A and B are shown apart, each in its own frame.
Chain A
Amino acid sequence: MQTIDLATTTLRDLNATLQATKGQTNATAWEIVNPKGSHALAVGLDAPIEVTVKGSTGYYTAGMNKQATVTVKGSAGPGVAENMMSGTVIIEGDASQYAGATGNGGLLVIKGNASSRCGISMKGINIVVHGNIGHMSAFMAQSGNLVVLGDAGDALGDSLYEARLFVRGSVKSLGADCIEKEMRPEHIAILQDLLAQAGADAKPEEFKRYGSARKLYNFNIDNASAY
Chain B
Amino acid sequence: MKDEQKTIPQTVPRQSWTYSQEINSEIRRAAATGIYDIRGGGAKRKLPHFDDLLFLGASISRYPLEGYRERCETKVVLGTRFAKKPITLDIPVTIAGMSFGALSGAAKEALGRGATLSGTSTTTGDGGMTPEERGHSKTLVYQYLPSRYGMNPDDLRRADAIELVVGQGAKPGGGGMLLGQKISDRVAKMRNLPKGIDQRSACRHPDWTGPDDLEIKILEIREITGWEKPIYIKIGGARPYYDTTLAVKAGADVVVIDGMQGGTAATQDVFIEHVGQPTLAALPQAVKALQDMGMHRKVQLIVSGGIRTGADVAKALALGADAVAVGTAALIALGDNDPHWEAEYQKLGTTAGAYDDWHEGKDPAGITTQDPELQKRLDPVQAGRRLANYLKVMTLEAQTIARACGKNHVHNLEPEDLCALTVEAAAMAGVPLAGTSWIPGRGGY
Contact residues in B for A219 (Cβ distance below 8 Å): 177, 179, 198
Asked if A11 is at the interface (CB within 8 A of a chain B CB), the reply is: yes
Selected from B34, B177, B196, B207, the residue in CB contact (under 8 A) with A78 is B207
- Closest chain B residue, CB of each to CB of A64: B153
Q: Is A29 an interface residue (CB 8 A)?
A: no
Q: Could you tell me the distance between the alpha carbons of A142 and B198 in the complex, rounded to whole angstroms?
A: 13
Contact status of A85 and B153, CB under 8 A, knowing A60-B220, A64-B224: yes
Q: Are A83 and B148 in contact (CB under 8 A)?
A: yes
B223 touches A83 (CB 8 A): no
CB of A43 within 8 A of CB of B224, answer: yes
- Pick out which of these stretches binds chain A: B45-53, B211-219, B233-241, B247-255: B211-219
On chain A, which size bracket covers the interface?
35 or more
B35: interface (CB < 8 Å): yes
Cα distance A16–B224 in the bound complex, in angstroms: 9
Given A40-B223, A123-B192, A161-B194, A83:B216 Cβ within 8 A: no
Across-interface contacts of B35 in A (CB, < 8 A)? 221
Contact assessment for B198 and A217 in the assembled complex, using a CB-CB cutoff below 8 Å: yes
Across the A-B interface, give the 5 residue pairs with the lowest CB-CB distance, nearest first.
A44-B224, A217-B197, A79-B207, A98-B207, A40-B220
B194: chain A residues at CB < 8 Å are: 161-162, 217
Contacts of B213 in A (CB 8 A): 59, 78
Take A60-B216, A98-B207, A121-B206 as given contacts and tell me if A218 and B224 are in contact as well, using a CB distance cutoff of 8 Å: no
Which A residues are within 8 Å of any B CB, using their own CB?
Answer: 11-12, 15-16, 19, 39-40, 43-44, 46, 58-60, 63-64, 66, 78-79, 82-83, 85, 98, 101-102, 104, 117, 120-121, 123-124, 139-140, 142-143, 159, 161-162, 217-219, 221
Taking chain A's interface residues, is the majority helix, strand, or loop, or is none over half, making it mixed? loop
Chain A residue at minimum C-beta to C-beta distance from B227: A12
Q: Is B29 an interface residue (CB 8 A)?
A: no
| Shortest CB distance A21–B (Å) | 14
Q: CB distance B193 to A63 under 8 Å?
A: no
Q: Does B200 contact A (CB under 8 A)?
A: yes
* CB contact between B151 and one of A102, A117, A221 (< 8 Å): that residue: A102
Tell whether, in the assembled complex, residue A40 and residue B216 are in contact, meaning their CB atoms are under 8 Å apart: yes
- Verify B153–A104 contact, CB threshold 8 A: no
Residues on the B chain within 8 Å of A43, using CB: 220, 223-224
User: B208 at the A/B interface (Cβ < 8 Å)?
Assistant: yes
Bound complex: CA A123 to CA B180 (Å): 19
Contacts of A104 in B (CB 8 A): 152, 192
A98 touches B206 (CB 8 A): yes
Bound state CA distance, A46 and B148, in angstroms?
19
Cβ of B76 under 8 Å from chain A: no
